[in-house]
Amino acid sequence: MNPFTVRLKLHGNLDFFLRSAVPCRSIERSLSEKTSVKDAIESLGVPHPEVDVILVNGRPVDFDYALADDADIELYPVVTSSPTFKYKRLQTIRCSRFVADGHLGKLARDLRLLGFDVAYDPKAEDRQLLRIMERENRALLTRDRRLLMHAVVKTGYCPRSQNADEQTGEVIRRFDLLDSITPFTRCLRCNAPLRKVSMSEVIERLEPLTKIYYKQFRLCTGCGQIYWAGSHFSKLQKRLEKIRAHCEALGSRT
Ligand SMILES: [Zn+2]
C-alpha cells in the first residue's frame, strides 16, 4: 500500500490532549497501512469518548471508518450547543450515573452533594472501575487518558481542571445536567439516597444541642449517617453556589 497523509484538525478544547508543548490544532500524519479513524485519533493522545463528531473530507463517519487514502479529518468535542448538531453524534450526551477513579475523590463528593449517583472507591484498580462502568452502565470519570482510551469505554470524560469545583462544573456541562441537580438527596460518604425523617426517628442518636437547634433531618438509607442543617450544611450551601457559578461561567463560553 502506498503511504498516504491524513490531516487532523481539532476543534473546541480537544487540543488539551495533544502532547505538543506548542499550542497547535492541526496535525499531519503519514500512514502506510489501513488505519481506523479511532486509532488515528487516539495516536494523537485524544481518548475516543471525548470526540463527538468526526468529519472525513466533510462527511460524518463512525470510529471504525477505515482510512486508506489522503484525507482531511475534523474532530469535534462534545458540546451541548454547537453547529455540529446536524451531524451524526458519536457520544451519549446525558448521563447522571458515574464511576470516578481514585484520584477524583473531591469531584465524587461534589457530584453526590448535587444528588448524582457516583460510585467511588479510592482503592479501586483500573479493571474494577471498568467492570463497574460496564455492569452498572455508568460514565467513567478519570484524568488517566490511557484508561479512557480502553476499548470497552463507551461514555466517559477527562476533567481538564485540577480544581474540584471547576471539574464539577465541567461534568455538569458535559453531561447536560444543570436541570437535574437535586442537592442534599444523596449520602456524601456512601452514595446511597437520603430519606427525610422526623426527629423522633433519630432522637436517640442526636447530641443534646442538635435536638434543640435543628428540626429537619435526613437519614442515609445505606450507612445510617444522619444529616441536618447544621454548620456543615451552610458550608455545603456555599460550595453549591460556587459550583453553580462555575457551571454558568463554562456555559457562557460554549
Ligand atoms: Zn451513607
State in Å: Cα 222 to ligand 1 middle: 5
CA of 144 to the centre of ligand 1 (A): 28
Hey, what's the cell of 138? Answer: 455508568
Distance CA 185, CA 16 (A): 34
Q: How far is the CA of 23 from the centre of ligand 1 (A)?
A: 44
User: How much is the pLDDT for 90?
Assistant: 94
CA distance 105 to 127: 18
Cα of 195 from ligand 1 centre, angstroms? 11
Residue 83: per-residue pLDDT: 56
Interval between CA 193 and ligand 1 midpoint (Å):
8
- Measure 219 CA to ligand 1 centroid, in angstroms: 8
Other beta carbons less than 10 A from residue 253's beta carbon: 8
Block residue for cell numbers 497523509? 5
Q: What is the pLDDT of residue 88?
A: 80
Instruction: Identify the pLDDT of residue 46.
Output: 96
Q: What is the pTM of this model?
A: 0.91
Ranges of beta strands (E only) in the chain are 4-10, 26-31, 35-36, 51-56, 59-60, 66-67, 71-77, 97-100, 117-120, 139-141, 156-157, 194-197, 217-220, 226-228
CA of 106 to the centre of ligand 1 (A): 16
**Ligand 1 centre from 227 Cα, in Å?**
10
- CA–centroid distance, residue 183 to ligand 1 (Å): 15
DSSP character for 192? P
Per-residue pLDDT at 243: 80
pLDDT in tens, the chain (254 residues): 789 999 999 998 899 998 766 667 889 999 999 999 999 999 999 999 999 999 999 999 999 999 999 999 999 999 876 555 677 889 999 999 999 999 999 999 999 999 999 999 999 999 999 999 999 999 999 999 999 999 999 999 999 999 998 999 999 999 999 889 998 899 999 999 999 999 888 888 888 888 888 888 899 999 999 998 776 677 778 877 888 887 777 765 54
Whats the size of the chain, residue-wise?
254
Tell me the CA–centroid distance for residue 111 and ligand 1, in Å: 14
- Find the 141 Cα to ligand 1 centroid distance in Å: 21
